[in-house]
Amino acid sequence: MNPKVLRIAAALATAGIAVGTLAGCSGGGTTGGDSGADAAGGTYTWWDPYPQHAEDSDWAQRVQDCGTQAGVTIQRTAYDTTALTNQALLSAQDGTSPDIILIDNPAVSTLADTGMLSTTDDLGLDTADIDENLLAAGVLDGKTYGIPIGANTLALYYNADVLTAAGVDPASITDWASLDAALAKVSAAGKKGITFSGINTEEGSFQFLPWFWGAGAELTDLSSPEAVEAVTLWKDWLDKGYAPNSVITNSQNTVWEEFLTGDFAFAENGTWQVNSAAKAPFASGVIELPAKDGGAAPAPTGGEFIVAPVQKDTARYETTRKIIECMTTPEGFVDTANTFAYYIPPTAEGQKELLAENSGLETWVSAVQAAKGRTSDNLGTDYPLISEQLWTAVQNVLSGAQSPQEALDAAQAAAESATGK
């Protein structure tokens, strides 16, 4: 059996897809779009995770415009995020991969690990201007697969009315101690302190990571003293009444619904709530999530990478490169930012242009500059296995089932067993 097909089979099994169709072990390179004779023209296939943007949308028109500039027609297909990863893996096994995919950044390493993606070097793409912390989510074993089209991340929204009534200046919150002091004042004033998502899914890990990384912990050591400090912080907030017990089952959407009641001083949430915050029935603002000892905590990045699956006909890559370059100009990054509720451009020039249009996004630009990819540090396909153990530990601590050290010791042992490391 082709080793590449074996890797794809493993990825499909991990994704929960039936692998019976792999029994024949037929494989080989993929073929996207038309035949080699049409490499400099014809139709190029494009998949993205935006089914909410129909073919008459501004987004779809942008995609088509980049095809026109490259001298081809783009056939666009949209899937939801999970289905897109599954379809990408199946297409690689079947030899029917599209020319270009926009894929959620944690899935890049999953696809790359199967051997189905071209590297940026293969395509002749220049990534020198891309912020290194954002590009890192697409790096596996020293090779870069694709370019981020932008990033969103987490920060701390605040209710200015609640803080004013409690005598709290949001600018004074620079570390965990000052945040705790603010929560104490809010509680004494009769208001609720903070809400966040501690649910036992990836959303729970996503929201916990800024505190985990902000304490100095690393995903390769879930039971470190720093990791214990981070989960203890959350548990203490529940015990002191600063955070509601609902955080144990809160999704990020539920967190936002709680914040919009006007009862909470703070809510941990993302760039995607900028427009909603502006329409809230109270004055609001946003600050970066603080690290334990000061400064901004690294928050995980959301957002997609633009990647190119391997093709049998390598002559197609030149046009693929032109399409990708069209989508990743500074102006293109800003267009994407405005289309998708303020994705922050992944380059200094793009960020500067975005702030020229909307200076109110300065905190978000800073947060993205401090952010970190979940699969960074070469975790690659180990990340989902580690993350599951992390959110399980957080759940066990918040519910009182285990102490922080007990829960994280168990998580580390389970992560080592799952990853074989």
Q: What is the pLDDT of residues 209-251, one digit of tens each?
A: 999 999 999 999 999 999 999 999 999 999 999 999 999 999 9
How much is the pLDDT for 2?
Answer: 55
How much is the pLDDT for 109?
Answer: 94
Task: Judge whether residue 22 has pLDDT over 50.
Answer: no
Specify burial of residue 169 (Cβ count, 10 A radius: 0-12, 13-18, 19+).
exposed
Of the chain, the percentage scoring pLDDT greater than 70 comes to 90
Least confident of 18-32, 94-108, 159-173, 267-281: 18-32
User: Which residue(s) pair with 264 in the sheet?
Assistant: 192
- What global pTM score does this model have? 0.89
In whole angstroms, give the CA distance from residue 7 to residue 114: 5
What CATH class is the domain 154-299+379-419?
Answer: alpha beta
Tokens describing residue 45:
């296939």
SS3 state at 322: helix
Name the helix (H) or strand (E) containing 183.
helix 176-188
Task: Judge whether residue 7 has pLDDT over 60.
Answer: no
Q: Are 227 and 221 in contact (CB under 8 A)?
A: yes
Degrees, nearest 5: CA angle 394-86-30? 140
Average pLDDT, the chain: 91
Least confident of 38-52, 247-261, 341-355: 38-52
Polymer length of the chain: 421
How much is the pLDDT for 166?
Answer: 98
At residue 104, φ and ψ (nearest 5 deg) are -55, 135
Nearest CA to 327 among 173, 191, 149, 134? 149
Tokens describing residue 391:
């959110």
Task: Judge whether residue 20 has pLDDT over 50.
Answer: no
In whole angstroms, give the CA distance from residue 108 to residue 420: 21
How much is the pLDDT for 40?
Answer: 58
Cβ of 52: how many Cβ atoms within 10 Å? Answer: 9
Amino acid, res. 297:
A
Tokens describing residue 379:
């975790």
In whole angstroms, give the CA distance from residue 409 to residue 104: 30
How much is the pLDDT for 3?
Answer: 53
Task: Judge whether residue 81 has pLDDT over 60.
Answer: yes
Degrees, nearest 5: CA angle 47-63-354? 110
User: Which residue(s) pair with 117 in the sheet?
Assistant: 309
Average pLDDT over residues 101-118: 95
Task: Judge whether residue 5 has pLDDT over 50.
Answer: no
The interaxial angle of helices 348-357 and 330-339, nearest 10 deg, is 50
Q: What is the pLDDT of residues 300-355, one digit of tens each?
A: 999 999 999 999 999 999 999 999 999 999 999 999 988 887 899 999 999 999 99
Architecture of domain 3-151+303-369: 3-Layer(aba) Sandwich (3.40)
Tokens describing residue 94:
């079947």
Amino acid, res. 352:
K
Q: Where are the domains of the chain?
A: 3-151+303-369, 154-299+379-419
How much is the pLDDT for 10?
Answer: 54
Least confident of 29-38, 130-139, 264-273, 299-308: 29-38
In whole angstroms, give the CA distance from residue 408 to residue 355: 41
Nearest CA to 372 among 210, 229, 226, 225? 210
Q: What is the pLDDT of residues 345-391, one digit of tens each?
A: 999 999 999 999 999 999 999 999 999 999 998 899 999 999 999 99
